[in-house]
Amino acid sequence: MRISAFFYTLWQGIRSIFRNKWFSLASIATISACLFLFGLFYAVLMNFQHVIKTAEEGVSISVYFEEGITEEQIIVIQDQIQKRTEVSKAIYVSADEAWENFSKDFPEGFKDGFRENPLKNSAKLDVYLNDVSQQSSLVTYTSSIEGVRDINYSDITAETLSGFNVLIGYVSLGIIFILLAVSIFLISNTVTIGISVRKEEIMIMKYIGATDFFVRSPFVIEGILIGIFGSLLPLGIIFIIYERVVEYIGIRFSILSNILQFLPAETIFRDLTPITIGIGVGIGFLGSYSTVRKHLRV
């Protein structure tokens, strides 16, 4: 496409938005509403995943060893386990450390009543996972290591957290699909009206030899611009709302600060901004292109 033709189609696309301003505003408003809901859902989803990830990081399996095993042998086993891809870290807790931690829950002088460490066979490895869904395979592997006596773990915790992750994935896909479908439908209606208004102009352009691409381009540009406008508006609104809500909860419900740690707005919008703009542009392009392809028959 020549430069003059490019600027012509760009100008025609902009003119078409203002020519059908009420329908364009309706489409922008609807896309903004859809992407606003998407943005809110995304922010909630990211924070929920952050909470689950934090919970997963706190899930561990405790590996206990056969009586008489040396600390050097335990360190070798620790190195073996840490090399596993599903392992985040493996912390060695000696028998003395275990006894020290246990005695902290009792009055001062409690340890003096014991001549020797009653937990002398309680040395262990606390193994933390990158993904709790891989707990079963790690337990199977660890139980096969020579010198391992017992493994404490919770299937219920792992299955619950894994189930939440799967559920979030399905819900996310469903909501995104619905929002995209509604937005594309509205863009299609707007472009269809634009084609009806300019039908005579399109016929003249076709009769004098204009290609389908040349005729179609202004409508595609119109759809893309509507998508851009419709994505920038909700981003600004969501940013303001998110910061206000996080600040409000932090002040009014400070007791929950150790439980609910919200992600910073910058972290959320680092990914949300390109995703939202990309969805807006994609909706505009697909909606306008498919509609022109169906109705541009002159």
Q: Which residues of 47-65 are buried (b: 16+ CB within 10 A; e: fewer)?
A: bebbbbeeebeebbbebeb
Q: How far apart are CA 197 and CA 206, in angstroms?
A: 16
| Domain count along the chain | 2
Q: Write out the two tokens for 12.
A: 């025609």
Task: Note down the domain range covering 81.
Answer: 60-153
Whether 48 and 190 map to the same domain: the answer is yes
Least Cα distance to 124 among 101, 155, 104, 154 occurs for 101
Q: How confident is the model at residue 237 (pLDDT cuts 50, 70, 90)?
A: very high
Same-domain status, 71 and 148: yes
Residue 111's pLDDT band (cuts 50, 70, 90): low
Two tokens, residue 105: 């829950």
**At 217, which amino acid appears?**
S
- Write the CB contacts of 15 (distance below 8 Å, at least 6 apart in sequence): none
pLDDT at 150 exceeding the cut of 60: yes
Residue 113 confidence (pLDDT) above 70: no
Q: Are residues 276 and 165 both part of a single domain?
A: yes
Based on the domain organization, do 167 and 290 belong to the same domain? yes
- Mark which of 99, 129, 153 sits at the end of a domain: 153
* Shared-domain flag, residues 45 and 101: no
Tell me the pLDDT band of 118, cut-offs 50, 70 and 90: low
Mean pLDDT, the chain, rounded, equals 76
Share of the chain above pLDDT 70, in %: 69
Range with the poorest average pLDDT among 52-56, 106-110, 201-205: 106-110
218 and 202, same domain (yes or no): yes
pLDDT in tens, 167-210: 777 877 787 778 767 766 766 666 566 566 666 666 776 677 76
Using alpha carbons, list the distances in angstroms from residue 208 to 7, 11, 12, 220: 20, 20, 18, 21
Report pLDDT for 139: 83
State whether 289 and 206 are in the same domain. yes
Confidence at residue 210, expressed as pLDDT on a 0 to 100 scale? 67
Q: 198 and 278 in one domain? A: yes
Which of 9, 35, 68 lies closest to 229 in space, CA to CA? Answer: 35
- Please check whether residues 40 and 174 belong to one and the same domain: yes
pTM of the model: 0.64
The residue length of the chain stands at 298
Q: How far apart are CA 85 and CA 76, in angstroms?
A: 17
Per-residue pLDDT at 22 = 75
- pLDDT exceeds cutoff 60 at 298: no
The region of weakest confidence among 31-40, 118-127, 130-139 is: 118-127
pLDDT of residue 209: 72
Q: What is the mean pLDDT of residues 126-152?
A: 81
Question: 89 with 109, same domain?
Answer: yes
Give the per-residue pLDDT at 2.
66
Q: Which amino acid is at 147?
A: G
CATH number at residue 119: 3.30.70.3040
pLDDT at 198: 61
Indicate whether 9 pLDDT > 60: yes
The answer on 199 and 82 residing in a single domain is: no
- Quickly state the pLDDT bin for 289 (edges 50, 70, 90): confident
Q: Among 96, 130, 153, give the residue marking a domain's end.
A: 153
Residues 176 and 226 both lie in one domain: yes
